[in-house]
Structure 1
Amino acid sequence: MTQEKTKWDAGRFIKTLAYFGVIPFIGSLSGLQQLFKGKAQKEKTPKPQRTGIILVAGATGGVGKRVVKKLLEKNYQVRALVRDSQRAKEILGNKVEIIEGDITISETLNENVMKDISAVICCTGTRVQPVEGDTPNREKYYQGIKFYLPEVVDIPEIVEYKGIQNLVQATRKILKRGTDESLIFDFTQPTQDLKETWGALDDIVMGGASESSIRLVENTGLFSGYVSVANSGGFASVRTRNFDPPIDLTGYTGIDLRIKGDGKRYKFIIRNDPQWDSLSYCYSFDTVYDIWITVRIPFKDLIPVFRAKTVPEAKSFDPSHITSFQLMLSKFEYDGALNPKFEAGIFQMQLEYIKAYGGKILPQFVQISSAGVTRPGRPGINLEEEPPAVRLNDQLGGILTWKLRGEDAIRSSGLTYTIIRPCALTEEPGGKALKFEQGDNIRGKVSREDIAELCLQVLEEPKLSNVTFEVKESYDLGDKEDLEKSISGLKADR
């Protein structure tokens, strides 16, 4: 039988290499650059990080401004909700999205404030100031901490309870409930970054004549083209450029594809290695003609493959370091076997999204409350041993009582949450070891800097979903423990 021949398109071959930054016989430019950097610079795998915008309410306060700064340093998208945008710009700078709003006025928590958020960190609180006439000459001390006789500026019921209710209700409209999914590519809402990520990779690189593309059509990604067996070819595909940094899907079970196909069998391919011609992990799936289906791809079912040959001795797929995705229509399955549903000619498949599934549910609402909220009126409490906020609760408009009511509004909301109850907040430098407890009995102090850092850790810690806890600076001289070890004894709220 005579093998079909056709003229090879050298121009398209060069365009393909240029798009993916590949040098023939050497590999990818990223690999070459890594070689010149030297072996000493070992690449760090990033921690999992949620997508979407983090809304920080009370962003110009003592904790809030530190939270914003730390989020920006970790490359989160941040939106600051503030009462005074001009003052916020002076405090927060120009790198953060600033929107004026007030949690005590529900109408201000509109679509512009809540759009595309993935979590809320609430650092709001009733403004407290020294009683008029209370000057530095009348300083008072408690546990070595200087303070003045305080008075409230706001109404605690409005700020600590009704304001939190408003923010929770606005958040629920957007986030609904905790989810175990993470959206990776959303073709229904294309961005410029998405458009520049995917490119065609056909058998032209091996002398073939197949040709494909991926285009944004009718709020979907349309993978289509013509697959040919001429010149010993037989595959068409689209592949992402290498992710920088690599995608970390630690804790997830697999990938979901939402697709509408043409009845043919395709492959989904993932790589852990940034090199151009490297080991890949494959999964074959069938489509149904002109019907939308969800293809579930468990990581455990991925097959290690190199150049269409299985590699049984290869190490297992590593979800923590994903460098690229690829979709392919190929004449071959694996190890020389033919694709039973392959036909040369025109093909097409539409995609709505690619997402990870089976992950652990992360907190959606992080609240900075206060230690002592359950102590006013608690039987057996010796007020002389309690911090000023507890002893002066009634004089301060029941501030702790209303904070507790605000906590209850969060706990009953249906959102996944973490409620942090810090002891007395200080301006001292951070970096201290922290002690976590439950039951609202501890006293002490803790740096605002450390609470801000804790907020970032909480965002990505599923073990703290639906947990309320108190925290203070530890006086133990031992080494600072990592968060997972420190919180090991905490239990979820009932």
Structure 2
Amino acid sequence: MVMQESSSSKKGWPVGRALRTFLSFNGPRFLSGRRKKKTSGGVGIATATTVTPQFGADLPVGHGIVLVTGATGGVGRRVVSLLLEKGIRVRALARNEQKALAMLNGGQKPEPGALLEIVNADIRDPAALTPELMEGVTAVIGCTAAIVQPKSGDSEDRAKYYQGIVFYEPETLDSPEETDFVGVKNVLAAANKYADVKGCKKLYNCAPAFIDRWQDFASLDDVVMGGTSDSKFTLIPGAGEAGNEDSPSRIAGVFEGMVTTERGFASGGFTSVRTRNLEPPLDLTGYEGLRLRVLGDGNTYKIILRDSDQWDGPSWSTMVPTQAGKWADLDVPFTSLIPVARTRSIPADQRQAFRLDQIFAIQIMLSKFAYDGEVNPTYKDGPFKLVIQSIEAYMGPSAPRTSRFVHISSAGVERPGRPGIVLEEEPPAVRMNDMLGGILTYKLKGEEAIRASGLPYTIIRPCALTEEPANMPLEVDVGDTIKGKVSRDDVARLAVYALACPEATNLTFEVKSSLAFSQQWTAEDAARAPVTDMTQVFAQVKSMSQK
């Protein structure tokens, strides 16, 4: 809304503005300019989540999306399959879209609303890792690696490469530096900037990728109840906090206007900015509160969440003070919100449970009234101005911190150039590291970038990968010395379970089977073997890492 200057102290009720406000929130979309929350093609919200207790019900937090890079590789496609089996939304990233469709979805494009989305993008190109690609992503499983094949060639299904037992003289088809190091850095940068992988969920901020989200908001003042308060909400370059890396131009949302009690048929003295009903509603399951980064004006504001799509239905509200002229984080724990009907608290015997999984609207209000007849202690008629840099949902310090970046690397990455190493006794990748373009060297550099990123991570270093079935007896170690083989099925299970097990956080380890190369693991063996407890595997690695 555009602010109107007061021409006199006895201004009449602007009935036209009241009608426009009502229609903005309740009328046809062409009147409101309402923006339907966009989703990328093929992504939808699962109607049910089939997560076993052993797997962990917090995967991923907030029912977000797991981004899988290298989704058509031997481990990657198994990771995708396991996540889908668990009812987890997956965004599968691949260089070849047709190959991905054939491998992951029977050659068909996923239906809108399906758990699976397939995206054609190359992690070596930072421009391909867009804000839209990262929207809603709460975890990443990195399965991308430089392509290696036998010099003698391979079949279309890469049977020679995948079998992992018989040795064929190898060659690389692309640059290990660009894929295993630069590509990993590109994914980390995009995830840090755009995804929800830091224990918070970006709802609104002033980074270029998020600017259009502020269109959800519109002014809602006491004019709808006979008052004459007037506000506007605009994005203003230069209004934001200095030194904000997300918004170099310092754009910020400015909620400002004039609040007055001079006239009101039912209730004057409030002004607010509120989102139109969000489609779909926000799911803030697993988070503990909202955090607003604001430049205050000394007023005390109401923060209101609505878990119903009713225009004037019950809401959840609290009051937060601001300091004039100071930037601050306003933390609003969900436990601090009380259920209200306008300014009256709802009696305990009439209250319904707060639905964090369906937040339809967020509202910020300056009002003369507190609750149940009490008055806002800092309220005064006159101008106001609240600058809003961002709004996000946050996790509390007591929340379990699980990995948000799981990466499949390789055993042997620390061995090239290691003093005293006997190359003849090492796996081919170690012996041929230089010939293969420094493949292990750049995998190690990629690992180092992950460990330095600040994200909770798990780095899995498998020994020689085979096509044998899952549930092999596993051995884990740290320090990069073990040799052997391991099933891709088991590595995929480790990667997926790492997202749900706090014990896996910030670990780097090697894994192999206790079986000799010559001992074949069959489907019958897998069926007879006890199911591997991945929590115990990660606990063992954690104990080793602390020694």
Distance (whole Å) between structure 1 residues aligned to residue 532 and residue 166 of structure 2: 34
Which of 254, 259, 265 is the aligned partner of 1:231? 265
Provide TM-score, normalisation by structure 1: 0.66
**SS in structure 1 at match of 2:305:** strand
Structure 1 alignment gaps of length 5 or more: 24-40, 83-87, 102-108, 377-388
Pair 1:91 & 2:111 matched: no
* Alpha carbons of structure 1 residues 71 and 349: separation in structure 2 relative to 1, 3 Å: farther
- Structure 1 distance, partners of 2:168, 2:328, is 61
Q: 1:19 aligns with which of 13, 19, 24?
A: 24
CA, structure 1 residues 134+334, in 2 after alignment: closer, same or farther (shift >3 Å)? closer
Q: Cα–Cα, structure 1 residues 196 and 166, in superposed 2: closer, same or farther, change >3 Å?
A: closer
Alignment partners' CA distance in 1, 2:48 and 2:15: 35
SS in 2 for 1:153: strand
Q: Supply the AA of the counterpart residue of 1:413.
A: A
How many positions carry a matched residue from both structures?
A: 438
Q: How far, CA to CA, are the matches of 1:404 and 1:78 in structure 2?
A: 21
What is the Cα deviation at residue 163 of structure 1? 5.6
After superposition, residues 42-121 of structure 1 pair within 5 angstroms as 48=61, 56=69, 58=70, 61-64=73-76, 82=95, 88-92=96-100, 96=119, 98-99=121-122, 101=124, 112=127, 121=141
Q: Distance in 1 between matches of 2:188 and 2:361?
A: 34
8 Å Cα contact 1:55-1:120 kept in structure 2: yes
On the 8 A contact 2:301/2:367 being kept in 1, the answer is: yes
Work out the CA distance in 1 between the residues paired with 2:530 and 2:363: 45
Structure-2 separation of matches of 1:350 and 1:64: 44
Q: Taking structure 2 as the reference length, what is the TM-score of the superposition? A: 0.61
Q: What is the aligned partner in structure 2 of residue 368 from structure 1?
A: 408
Per mean C-alpha deviation after superposition, the further-off stretch among 165-174 and 213-222 is: 165-174
Secondary structure of the corresponding residue to residue 213 of structure 2: helix
How many Å apart are 1:233 and its aligned residue? 1.9
Contact 1:309 1:334 in 2 (8 A): yes
* Matching residue's letter, 1:269: I
User: Deviations along 1:150-204, whole A, 9 cap, x unmatched?
Assistant: 2211299x73x89644445556666499844332210353746414311222234
Matched, 1:445 2:487: yes
Is the contact between residue 424 and residue 444 of structure 1 (CA under 8 Å) also seen in structure 2? yes
Using the alignment, how far apart are the partners of 1:435 and 1:244 within structure 2? 47
In structure 2, list runs of 5 or more residues that go unmatched: 1-8, 29-45, 50-57, 102-108, 110-117, 238-250, 417-424, 514-522
Q: Distance in 2 between matches of 1:193 and 1:74?
A: 28
- Deviation string, structure 1 residues 278-303 (Cα, Å, up to 9, x no partner): 43222212223333332222233223
Once residues 489 and 311 of structure 1 are traced to their aligned partners in structure 2, the CA distance between those partners, rounded to angstroms, is 51
**How far apart are 1:352 and its partner, in Å?**
0.7
SS in 1 for 2:172: coil
3-state SS of the aligned residue for 2:372?
coil
Q: Matches of 1:484 and 1:322 in 2, distance apart?
A: 34
Quickly say closer, same or farther: Cα 1:18–1:467, change in 2 above 3 A.
farther
Q: Is the 8 A contact 1:467 1:491 kept in 2?
A: yes
Q: Post-superposition shift, 1:250? A: 3.8
**Any conservation in 1 of the 2:466–2:486 contact (CA below 8 Å)?**
no
Q: For 1:316 and 1:477, locate their aligned partners in 2 and report how far apart those are by CA, in whole Å.
A: 46
In the aligned structure 2, how far is the partner of 1:397 from the partner of 1:294? 49
SS class of match (2:152) = coil
How far apart, CA to CA, are the structure 1 residues paired with 2:148 and 2:453? 31
SS in 1 for 2:526: coil
| Aligned residue number for residue 172 of structure 2 | 154
Distance 2:394 2:467 in 1: 41
In the alignment, residue 467 of structure 1 is paired with which amino acid?
L
The answer (yes or no) to whether the contact 1:370–1:421 under 8 Å persists in 2 is: yes
- Quick one: which amino acid aligns to residue 347 of structure 1? F
* Distance of 2:47 and 2:154 partners within structure 1: 57
Give the share of equivalent positions with the same residue, in percent.
32
1:271 corresponds in structure 2 to 306
Output the CA distance in 2 between the equivalents of 1:435 and 1:16. Answer: 66
